[in-house]
Chains A and B, each alone.
Chain A
């Protein structure tokens, strides 16, 4: 398997405003290679830099030092629009707090990234119907996010990500609000996508029971991989 993602000596520092010398170091020289089709779970205590690493991998944040390459291309060499294009199709980030668009129904939320890809209405409908059925939310399509529970909203967020069939799915505690049955259901689907379509998954989870799905478990502490 070829490396899909290469993280080489990545550090991230957040300067404290009044005093540039006393800055917060979230990542300290992290290096990681992720092959295409791998399923990686990252765990570690709070403040270990897991979310920061995910943000840098997905391109929504940039490292202070180091290089991140996706498919051999350093993300730092890409323009902002190119990074955005990457996040439309190839790298999808699922948030812990799901972050649905409140003005859109469940169906429209899942449809949103497919509209950005300019897919036909018919194709969009096919994809949405299939993915929503897999995650058991096809009964909610006309509801708005405020009418759903936290767990239901989280499944919609996951559905939105899976509808695009990205090459790399990056998730931050994506099952935190789900019961064990639904959490397993989600990970089973991810596993199936990994096998069928070669999707690469990097997810942060504190749930030890979910590590069984992973090809590799990485533990972080104090901004480093231990």
Chain B
């Protein structure tokens, strides 16, 4: 039957070409959309974890402004995680806000005091001009100013600005800061107020040795749960006023975007399935219609109903296999060409370009392609069943 099925799909080359084309283009679209979305998710997830850490420790909100993790707690946590092979790095950050300006102009700022050379908020910055801050600058009163603020208060790298903050005792504190470089966060709204400075400088401004959060980076995501359990145990045991959060609890942007794209992808998938189902069903039905008499003859000369059913099913399978092969080849060509072209675009609400690329991983496409295959089979099964169930004498009388 396989031999006959193979011959039959080539008896009308134009129809076979159209069927394979419809299936192939559908498979290509699904593979490309899936790989683009998966690539984007990976980039966003990686970016999200870089910003928040796999696990984050924060001071419990006690109603005070800017609750901080105290020095003793920091040391206890660092000691607890020291030597843990699952922990890749621990970074600390301190939030500072206030006014930044010159004698002529000023504006509000939201700064993050960071440990440079570690992962965290600083790792996602794009240097616009000047120089980045490094680990060696940890004790300097230098800062990275967003290009938006620099434009607003008419300063640039190499200039000095005054930072005015309310410290942890509620007293106004001010300090000069040297602009090492101008940066962009990639998000237009954030750039209006962003400043990055060394953690020690931020602590000096606020008159504290505490930090707003500790970000713990792990070698493997699978260790998140065990680290959280360990930290929660430590917090409970020592009655610390701290909370532990998984990165997922902090990545609202990532999950918001993912949910949106999942919905869009599902909607597009449904449309593709409907189009494939209607087109393939129609093409197969026309083919069967033209072969009614031949199918009737085959049954009349001794071919059983289930053998005819298997024959027609094999033809559908061959169409689908050809479609998948065509789809994979076409997807590979398009993805390679697009990746080589290095196309970039700036997403809405951001000011940094992101690459438009496909990380085509065939295993990611198994589910959507498998579902489409199922839909394709389902759309042909009814015409096939209807044909095999027809009475022989009706079929051979068909004109």
Partners in one complex: yes
A residues neighboring B (CB under 8 Å) = 55, 58, 60-61, 80-81, 84-85, 87-89, 92-93, 95, 97, 99, 101-104, 112-113, 116, 160-161
Minimum Cβ distance to chain B for residue A163 (Å): 11
- The reply to whether B305 and A88 form a contact with Cβ atoms under 8 Å apart is no
Beyond A60-B300, A113-B301, A116-B303: 10 further Cβ-contacts under 8 Å?
A: A60-B299, A84-B303, A87-B300, A97-B293, A99-B293, A99-B396, A101-B294, A101-B298, A103-B7, A116-B302
CA distance A64 to B297 in the complex (A): 23
Q: Mark B323-342, 1 if CB is under 8 A from A, else 0.
A: 00000000000000000000
Could you pull out 8 A-B pairs where Cβ atoms are within 8 angstroms?
A: A61-B392, A61-B393, A84-B302, A99-B294, A99-B296, A101-B294, A103-B8, A113-B301
On chain A, the residues within 8 Å of B294 by CB distance are: 99, 101-102
- The reply to whether B396 and A60 form a contact with Cβ atoms under 8 Å apart is yes
CB-CB under 8 A for A102 and B302, given A55-B393, A95-B396: no
Asked whether any CB of chain A lies closer than 8 Å to the CB of B11, the reply is yes
B273-317 CB contacts (< 8 Å) to partner A: 293-294, 296-305
CA distance A183 to B384 in the complex (A): 38
- The reply to whether B393 and A89 form a contact with Cβ atoms under 8 Å apart is no
- The reply to whether B302 and A85 form a contact with Cβ atoms under 8 Å apart is yes
- The reply to whether A104 and B4 form a contact with Cβ atoms under 8 Å apart is yes
Minimum Cβ distance to chain B for residue A73 (Å): 17
CA distance A139 to B303 in the complex (A): 27
On chain B, the residues within 8 Å of A113 by CB distance are: 301-302
CA distance A61 to B390 in the complex (A): 12
Among B299, B301, B396, residue most surrounded by chain A Cβ atoms (within 10 Å): B301
B1-53 CB contacts (< 8 Å) to partner A: 4, 7-8, 10-11
Q: Please give me the 7 A-B residue pairs with the lowest Cβ-Cβ distance, nearest first.
A: A88-B302, A99-B297, A103-B7, A61-B393, A60-B392, A87-B302, A84-B304
Closest to B298 in A: A101
CA distance A88 to B298 in the complex (A): 10
On chain A, the residues within 8 Å of B293 by CB distance are: 97, 99
On chain A, the residues within 8 Å of B4 by CB distance are: 101, 103-104
Closest to B391 in A: A61
CA distance A101 to B391 in the complex (A): 19
Q: Mark B359-399, 1 if CB is under 8 A from A, else 0.
A: 00000000000000000000000000000000111001000
- The reply to whether A58 and B300 form a contact with Cβ atoms under 8 Å apart is yes
B residues neighboring A (CB under 8 Å) = 4, 7-8, 10-11, 293-294, 296-305, 391-393, 396
- The reply to whether B8 and A88 form a contact with Cβ atoms under 8 Å apart is no
- The reply to whether A88 and B11 form a contact with Cβ atoms under 8 Å apart is no
Closest to B4 in A: A103
Closest to B393 in A: A61
Among A61, A81, A103, A113, residue most surrounded by chain B Cβ atoms (within 10 Å): A103
Closest to B290 in A: A102
CB-CB under 8 A for A102 and B304, given A55-B393, A60-B393, A60-B396: no
Closest to B1 in A: A115
CA distance A116 to B296 in the complex (A): 16
CA distance A104 to B3 in the complex (A): 10
Among A60, A87, A112, A113, residue most surrounded by chain B Cβ atoms (within 10 Å): A60
On chain B, the residues within 8 Å of A87 by CB distance are: 300-302
CA distance A89 to B11 in the complex (A): 29
CA distance A88 to B300 in the complex (A): 9
CA distance A112 to B297 in the complex (A): 12
Closest to B395 in A: A60
Closest to B302 in A: A88
CA distance A14 to B302 in the complex (A): 25
CA distance A92 to B302 in the complex (A): 9
On chain A, the residues within 8 Å of B7 by CB distance are: 103-104
On chain B, the residues within 8 Å of A58 by CB distance are: 300
On chain B, the residues within 8 Å of A81 by CB distance are: 304-305
CA distance A97 to B299 in the complex (A): 15
- The reply to whether B391 and A88 form a contact with Cβ atoms under 8 Å apart is no
Minimum Cβ distance to chain B for residue A103 (Å): 4
On chain A, the residues within 8 Å of B396 by CB distance are: 60, 95, 99
Minimum Cβ distance to chain B for residue A175 (Å): 18
- The reply to whether B303 and A103 form a contact with Cβ atoms under 8 Å apart is no
Among A55, A93, A101, residue most surrounded by chain B Cβ atoms (within 10 Å): A101
CB-CB under 8 A for A93 and B303, given A55-B393, A102-B11: no
Closest to B304 in A: A84
Minimum Cβ distance to chain B for residue A148 (Å): 16
CA distance A99 to B292 in the complex (A): 11
CA distance A119 to B92 in the complex (A): 81
On chain B, the residues within 8 Å of A99 by CB distance are: 293-294, 296-297, 396
On chain B, the residues within 8 Å of A88 by CB distance are: 301-302
Closest to A99 in B: B297
CB-CB under 8 A for A160 and B301, given A60-B392, A61-B393, A99-B396: yes
- The reply to whether B11 and A103 form a contact with Cβ atoms under 8 Å apart is yes
On chain A, the residues within 8 Å of B298 by CB distance are: 101, 112
CA distance A199 to B299 in the complex (A): 22
- The reply to whether B302 and A89 form a contact with Cβ atoms under 8 Å apart is yes
CB-CB under 8 A for A93 and B393, given A101-B294, A103-B11: no
CA distance A99 to B391 in the complex (A): 17
Closest to A84 in B: B304
